[in-house]
Amino acid sequence: MVKPQVLPPKRNVLEALFPVRKPIIGVIHLQPLPGAPRYSGQPVSDVFAAAAADARTLSEGGVDGIILENASDMPFSRPEHIGPETVAALTAACLAVRAVVDTPIGITCVANGVLPALGIAKAVGAGWVRANQWVNAYVANEGILNGPAPEAMRYRSRIRAEEVAIFADVHVKFGAHAITADRSIAEQATDAEWFDADVLIASGTRTGSPTEPREVDDVRSGTNLPVIVGSGLSADQVPALFASADGAIVGQWLKKDGRWWNPVDPRRVEQLMAAVRKVRDAQ
């Protein structure tokens, strides 16, 4: 299949960030941060200590990267309403993690707070940010969200953060795609590459929902960029999904009892990484 070449070829960011094939990025779902409805006033040092503990478990279990997310701040603010208190706390959480592990880190600032995430990434030395919606528009839980790519790329240039890569979801979870229903997933993948994303993400419909191999294939058919799984990977699914995917972001399955709000379970990390190593060795 001949893929569209919409921009000059660029370096493979996934290879630049991670010294292994098919890297696994573990998720730290932060406890509620100040300003969020579920924040109860606990010392923020407790929030950061829990994040550091998860980071140690992930790193000791052999994951290749860690991404921090303010996942407990629901209902999530729209990008334009994300406050300085969220940026400050997420920055401090990243620094707490950087203090205890050398594993490369990235940032997701929900909902779709790509500009805040870029600012944090520049401050803490993170390697990438995740954009849940990079191009076009869709109907999210927070309402209609536009892709931030034009503003985000100009902001990244202004703060001289070109070293921070963009990991962009293609067919976004937690939303309806009526606005782009006449566009195939492959076409939307081409759009994301055209707007200068570095790595594309194929996801399920919500946190923990499985990503289908067909969706990975659909995204890959529209891009020359690396394509990773962004939701629902388990140890059992590694062989099927890694036949096409270049890596994965894994959150909920690595937690105790498979619940995203629980601490990371070292036994699950070990099980997943054993399955990943088996695939790496076979290819």
Q: 2 in a domain, yes or no?
A: no
CATH code: domain of residue 156: 3.20.20.70
Tell me the per-residue pLDDT of 44-102, one tens digit each, with 9 for 90 and over.
Answer: 999 999 999 999 999 999 999 999 999 999 999 999 999 999 999 999 999 999 999 99
Q: 224 in a domain, yes or no?
A: yes
Owning domain of residue 135: 21-282
Query: Distance between CA 69 and CA 96 in Å, rounded?
Result: 14
Q: 1 in a domain, yes or no?
A: no
Q: 12 in a domain, yes or no?
A: no
Q: 35 in a domain, yes or no?
A: yes
User: pTM of this prediction?
Assistant: 0.93
Tell me the per-residue pLDDT of 168-184, one tens digit each, with 9 for 90 and over.
Answer: 999 776 677 667 777 88
Task: Count the domains in the chain.
Answer: 1
Nearest to 135 by CA among 179, 86, 87: 179
> Quick one: pLDDT at residue 186?
92
Q: 16 in a domain, yes or no?
A: no
Q: 26 in a domain, yes or no?
A: yes
Give Cα separations from 226 to 14, 35, 202, 222, 236 (angstroms). Answer: 7, 36, 11, 11, 22
Tell me the per-residue pLDDT of 9-23, one tens digit each, with 9 for 90 and over.
Answer: 889 999 999 999 999
- CB atoms under 10 Å from CB of 199, counted, come to 23
Contact assessment for residue 277 and residue 22, using Cβ atoms and an 8 Å cutoff: no
> Quick one: pLDDT at residue 16?
96
Using pLDDT thresholds of 50, 70 and 90, give the confidence band for residue 283: confident
Q: 6 in a domain, yes or no?
A: no
